[in-house]
Chain A
Amino acid sequence: MPAQDADVLTVEPVARRGDARSLDTALLIVGLIALWQAGTLVLGKDALPSPVATVTKLAAIIGDEDFPRHAWETARAFLTALVISLAAGLLIGLALGARRLAGEVAEPMLTALYSIPKITLYPVILLLFGLGISAKIAFGVIHGIIPVILFTMNAVRNIPRVYLRSARAMRLTLAQTAGTIIIPAALPEIVSGFRIGFALTLLGTLIGEMFASQRGIGYMLVKAMETGDTATVMSLALLLVVLATAASAALLALDRRLRRHAIAA
């Protein structure tokens, strides 16, 4: 899946250039905030609350006594879904990567599943799991697990044959081969898969909360949407954007380091 993979291209060899780039990114973010402020002036502060008003409102929401309950609900559903997506996706991906025929059978089915709008499956999930946290977790998992499987499978397939032959020559057990050969060799791509899996699990969990739920950030969002409370919508959107971008940036940094390491080795 090359769409989210553009960053792979830009391996910066010199650290100094990386600093200049962070400065540029910071400038860009300042520019976006300025654009936001300009948007507020054009549209009026009822339609698009200004950056300052949004941050103030966000602080008020976080300070509210109801917030920890909602945040905890979302965090619990998201983290459980994430752990399941990553662990199960990794295991299935490893198995499908190791068995060539199984991988060939599964891959087109998985890519097809990846590209369908899974939101339509939400009623089915609700019927199967009932209202409550397990439906949200299941919904997060069906979003997040597929990219993890696909990336892990391709990573394992691309491991040089000679590594595996050495493992056989050294009579490593299956667990040893997985732990010392397959996972280290495939790690950079697995991390890329985790990054996309992380984003989609979050998306899935939030959509799950927006539809048929009584608690969580997604529920707060949809309630604010229905009552036309744009200040709350923008504050929560800002919170999600910052959290998601920060987590993604951290994983991206890890990804880059692993790739550079892999090239150096």
Chain B
Amino acid sequence: MAQLTSARRAPGLRVAPSFSERIDLPQRVVLVAAGSMIAIVVLLLTFVTWQGLQLFLKDGVSITQILSSTWQPDPTYPPVIFGLLPFIAGTVYVTAVALIISTPLSVGLALFLSEVAPNWAKSIVQPALEIFVGIPSVVWGWLGITILVPFLSSTFPAHISISLPIVGTVFGMPGFLTGFSWLAGSLVLSVMVLPTITSVSYDAFQAIPQELRTASLALGTTRWQTIRHILIPAALSGVLTAVVLGMTRAAGEALAVQMVIGNSPTLPTALTQPLTTLTSQITLDMGNTVFGEPWQDALWTMSLVLLAISILSVVLVRLINARRLGA
């Protein structure tokens, strides 16, 4: 019988860990890669905020001034007023109408794909949606300017009104003079945000466990009743998230919108009138201004407003979903 002496004992587990075990180099490296995003955001926020505040700090413009609706930045035509209201309002208006148009369509499409479409239909529509996503914004803008704008101005050039027999004119607005208008901008934006809202809503509907559908159907309800009373409430936070993401994309879109809205820095009174957004004004003026002059500082302030909107929407999305997880 072999005797186990200490001299012949096999090396056990008490071997000192190697260098690579002690310091997990790969972990450090990939952490730096992932952490670079934090650095990027911090830098971005710092730079843009700093530049954006110059209008107040260096040029002495007051906050009340930027809320005025007069935009006269050119120093050769005094008085110079940096009123940002037309742009903020423009962004809000164009985004709001785009969401009104797009949300029902997108949620409907998401429901179609999730609940109604047979597999063969899904396999056609889903790739189509992905291609939709891939179309660059300048192309949407070009389509808008070559097809939509002429269509609007040729089809509805005159005064648009809806009259009922006894009541008289119920609704009226001036026609599309050139076609470059609020509505054109919203229409273009609505097709651009459609894939975003659809895909996030689709994920929300897919996440609902199948058992809830089976339980509802087994109680003798129709599919639409199941959708309306069970699925939509269950997916609500997902759909809200989708709409917020769509809103962010719409508000941040620059080129496509700029090509079709007419770019007149006034507050529109009707869907048929031209307007301007924060993004389009920045795009137009940045090239004509000099770094450091108040005009450009105002553009930076507009960028800051855009940045604030986007960060706020990230926070909003987190709030919407935090409540759901907590409950």
A and B: interacting chains: no
